[in-house]
Amino acid sequence: MPQEQYPHRSTMQTSEGPQVYKVGIYGWRKRCLYFFVLLLMILILVNLAMTIWILKVMNFTIDGMGNLRITEKGLKLEGDSEFLKPLYAKEIRSRPGNPLYFQSARNVTVNILNEKTKVLTRLVTGPQAVEAHSQKFEVKTLSGKLLFSADDNEVVVGAERLRVLGAEGTVFPKSIETPNVRADPFKELSRPRARW
């Protein structure tokens, strides 16, 4: 075989200068590396687009997210909201001039707890009744005058006038004390006849 056919093989060392070796990735390895870099760039762009889309859909702003705004006084919730777990708050108010609605499929329960998380007072509004569990129940006017009060010992009606509108009137099984008993104007004050 002649030596010209194999130029890269040489039986003799030549002193023409230093031999240069190419360093790097060539061929199919280079194509795979470019493919992975391109795939990584596409994933980064998709991730960035999804993050921007989520921020847009959830209405994220500097002040808060969605209907929830962070203010100097606390959190402000605008519009309808749904709470899946218990809500603990120091104060809940509606906007001035707007009502505050609580809606539930079963009931709405308001608990007042002490420092040891023991229930002191409970107000339950259900489909059948409104129940208040406490040591004392009071109803007052806007000026602070007592209209009704109830506790374990007594029930107080603080109104100037008490009217009983039932067809049968009112029945007291024991004695009562009152400074004045009156009938409606132009009507007789009568007592039921005893049955023997």
CA dist., res. 157 & res. 74, Å (int): 40
CA dist., res. 1 & res. 9, Å (int): 12
pLDDT at 145 over 80: yes
Average pLDDT, the chain: 81
The pLDDT of residue 47: 97
For residue 12, what are its two tokens? 């003799």
**Helix/strand/coil (H/E/C) assignment for every residue in 18-44:** CCCCCCCCCCHHHHHHHHHHHHHHHHH
Identity of the residue numbered 78: E
pLDDT, tens digit, for every residue of 27-81? 888 899 999 999 999 999 999 999 999 988 888 888 777 778 888 877 887 777 7
For residues 72, 78, 83 and 87, what is the CA-based torsion angle, rounded to 10 degrees?
Answer: 30
The pLDDT of residue 53: 93
Q: Rounded to whole angstroms, what are the CA distances from 53 to 46, 58, 99? A: 10, 8, 34
- Who contacts 189 (Cβ-Cβ below 8 Å, separation ≥6)? 181, 182, 183
pTM of the model: 0.47
Query: Considering the chain, what percentage of its residues have pLDDT values greater than 90?
Result: 19
By the 8 A CB rule, do 146 and 158 touch?
A: yes
Give the number of C-alpha atoms closer than 13 A to the C-alpha of residue 113, restricted to the C-beta side: 8
**Helix and strand counts by DSSP (H, E) for the chain:** 1, 9
CA dist., res. 50 & res. 44, Å (int): 10
The pLDDT of residue 4: 56
CA dist., res. 62 & res. 53, Å (int): 16
Range 148-171 average pLDDT: 83
pLDDT, tens digit, for every residue of 1-31? 555 555 555 555 556 777 777 777 788 888 9
Range 138-153 average pLDDT: 91
The pLDDT of residue 196: 46
92 or 147: which leads in pLDDT: 147
Q: Indicate the range of 7-11, 17-21, 107-111, 156-160 predicted with least confidence.
A: 7-11
132 or 21: which leads in pLDDT: 132
